[in-house]
Chains A and B, each alone.
Chain A
Amino acid sequence: MIFGMWDAELFKIGSIPVDHLIVTQWAIIALIGLIAFCATRDMKLVPSGLQNGFEMVIVWTYDFFTQLMDHEHTAKKYAPLLSTFFLFILISNYSGLIPGAASIEGFQPPTSNWNVTVALALITMITTQYSGFAEHGAHYLKHFVSPSAAMLPLNLLEEITHPLSLTVRLFGNIFGEEMIIAYLLFMAPFIIPTALMGLSVMLGAIQAIVFTILSASYIAAATSAGH
């Protein structure tokens, strides 16, 4: 059991144990993939239906990340990853709102597990370092000793702080919210938890936006001219 969550093994692939959180993530990935496939399988010059909606979302995300990251080429390069982060985290957070999710084994949102948020934060950290090297080459290393070599420990600690901060915030918020809903359902199964579940809809979206905005700002900082 990790931080109070069920981690019962469902089955094994070879010697690798698979638990319900992994299966939930597979379902979320399949859902996003299916929607994307349906929207793009028969693309037309004049879009309609799902393609129209998808194009609108893509244009909006490019515009949003261009505003956030200052450079259009950086925004276009990393927008697919950041949009995927947003959709994955949003649907993961909302998967806890399925009726009975807080009390039935196998229905917790993946983002309420420490291991999932660590993995997401590590992807951001690796992408940030990659984007810095891709933009500035070996000169990127200079920012670790900026403004002087004495700042190296502080700058290194700051780099480690970023993924930890992302991890703790997402995990803490979603896990805490799930626990409160679970206890409320236990104490008063009707009506009372509804208000908090309504709040969860807003909180889930805010946490997904915050994670995406911060990932974008870390990448923007690594690729900016200041480095």
Chain B
Amino acid sequence: MVREKQTWVKSMGTAVNLGTSVAAAIAVGLIGGKWLDNRFDMGYLFTILGFLLGVITAGKMMWERLMGESRQRSFLDKHKKENEK
């Protein structure tokens, strides 16, 4: 029951965080890359690399959240079954 109470608080945090975190990761990569291009006069090289880095980081963050939620779900299911026994 305590665990179930924990999940809604954490889930709310995860849900509201995911969207802005993904956008922020891509924005940081893109802006950082653009700044490096302006500084070293490299055309669009760092902008593209920064964008890709941001996209990959966003993907990594989403994957980690998904795995975290999945682990929590199996933990809850396991406890539910044990309680039913």
Contact = CB atoms under 8 A, between A and B. Distances in A.
Given A68-B13, A160-B28, 5 more contacts: A68-B10, A153-B53, A157-B54, A161-B25, A213-B9
Dominant SS at the B interface?
A: helix
Contacts, number: 62
Which of the listed residues A161, A214, A217 has the most CB atoms from chain B within 10 Å of its own CB? Answer: A161
Interface of B: 2, 5-6, 9-10, 12-14, 16-17, 20-21, 23-25, 27-29, 53-54, 56-57, 60-61
B53 A157 contact: yes
Contacts of A157: 25, 28-29, 53-54, 57
B56 A68 contact: no
Interface of A: 64, 67-68, 70, 151, 153-154, 157-158, 160-162, 164-165, 168-169, 210, 213-214, 216-217
Dominant SS at the A interface?
A: helix
Given A67-B5, A157-B54, A168 B13 contact: no
A154 B53 contact: yes
Contacts of B21: 161-162, 165
B17 A165 contact: yes
The 10 closest A-B pairs by CB, nearest first: A213-B13, A165-B24, A164-B24, A165-B20, A161-B24, A157-B57, A161-B25, A165-B21, A154-B57, A67-B6
A60 B61 CA distance: 31
A214 B60 CA distance: 18
Contacts of A217: 10, 13-14, 17
Which of the listed residues A64, A154, A168 has the most CB atoms from chain B within 10 Å of its own CB? Answer: A154
A204 B52 CA distance: 35
Contacts of B60: 151, 154, 158
Nearest to B49: A153
Contacts of B28: 157, 160-161, 164
